[in-house]
Amino acid sequence: MSLAGRPTSKDVAQEAGVSQSTVSLVLGGKWAGRVSPATAHSVRGAAERLGYRPNQAARNLRLGTTRTVLLMVPTLSAPFFGPVYTGAARAAARHGFAVVVSTWPDDAVGPADSPFAAPDEAIDGILASSMAVEALGGFRDTPAVMLDSGPAGERVPTVDFGVADGMRAIAAHLAGLGHRRIGHVGAAVDQWTFHARGGALASAVAALPGGVLTRATCAIDVTSAKEAAGRLLDAPDRPTALVCDDDLIAAGAYKAARARGLDIPADLSVTGFDDVLLATALEPELTTVRLPAEELGAQGMATLLDLLSGGRPSPRVLPGELVVRESTAPPGA
């Protein structure tokens, strides 16, 4: 039991020859004009010597707080959300906050009814990723920050990726290579980020002289993606480039292309989105947009902590970055 026998503020008080209240005042930083600098110093010394760490349970009880925030993500088994967690947890730890994770139930499209959705312990705030603000449900009046979920009105702060810019960068890159007939393999997932990706691509291609966009959607898995990409490739006047909503979808597109004897990038350019580990494991390596997932978690947590301490954080947008690798080339190269 790493709790037993730990020094308490009372022990520190005794060691320093002061009262427990003084210890609490000093260590809480609220001693301006109440405790002499000399006393404060000796208290700090005593605390240091004893290796005093405040008992969080007692502090939480007293303050009616928990120093715990809930991170709601669709899953931790997808490659994207691990880093989000890491970034959030790291930022939280610096402020003495813990992070508990709630994932959506398997095969669910939203967080509702998750066995995780309402952890027994109370929480101070929520970091909710990739979901509509309405889905907060019972947590409506808990301070929350929405991640990668798009604009959410005045009431709740957001941190998003600049996915539209990212998609425009892809479109510009392909256009620059000479592509005009572009296929979009979209994720059939009702999340802001995918709507934004699709919308940005559509308008970018529409603005391109001679641009033609075809479109198919699929679930975010290789099999489904392969099938959807195949539909686009089998159409008359097939596209010379496939823009995929996600790296994993791009992997499916690779398979569809190979099954038809098309070489990437000579016969077909393919792009992904997110830049997960997979992107460099594929062959050829995937041109994609890198989204700073860990940064999303970190900035989200910073925003939430700001909110919790009474701030009025403004929305933030983290730019994606086009990473050109080997899967794109001029058409017919």
Q: Single out the residue of 82, 323, 172, 126 nearest to residue 116, CA to CA.
A: 126
- Strand-pairing partners, residue 181, are 212
Of positions 280, 321, 323, 326, contacts a second copy by CB under 8 A:
280
Partner in contact with 104, chosen from a second copy, DNA, none, beta carbon below 5 to 8 Å by kind = none
| Residues between 193 and 222 with contacts to DNA, criterion CB under 7 A | none
Smallest separation, CB 15 to a second copy (Å): 20
Partner in contact with 120, chosen from a second copy, DNA, none, beta carbon below 5 to 8 Å by kind = a second copy
107 contributes a contact to a second copy by CB under 8 A: no
Partner in contact with 9, chosen from DNA, a second copy, none, beta carbon below 5 to 8 Å by kind = DNA
Do 332 and 178 contact (CB within 8 A), yes or no?
Answer: no
Of positions 107, 134, 141, 154, contacts a second copy by CB under 8 A:
141
What is the rounded CA–CA span in Å between residue 258 and residue 265? 11
DSSP letter for each residue of 123-162: -SEEEEESS-GGGGGGGTTS-EEEESS---TTTS-EEEE-
Q: Looking at 37-45, 73-81, 167-175, 189-197, which segment touches a second copy (CB under 8 A)? A: 73-81
The tokens for 206 are: 């529409």
Q: Single out the residue of 252, 78, 290, 325 nearest to residue 163, CA to CA.
A: 290
Smallest separation, CB 249 to a second copy (Å): 10
What is the rounded CA–CA span in Å between residue 259 and residue 230? 9
Binding mask 78-97 for a second copy (x = CB under 8 A): xx-xxx-xx--xx--xx-x-
**Where on the chain is the footprint of DNA (CB under 7 A)?**
6, 8-10, 17-22, 24-25, 27-28, 30, 33-36, 38-39, 52, 54-55, 58-59, 61-64
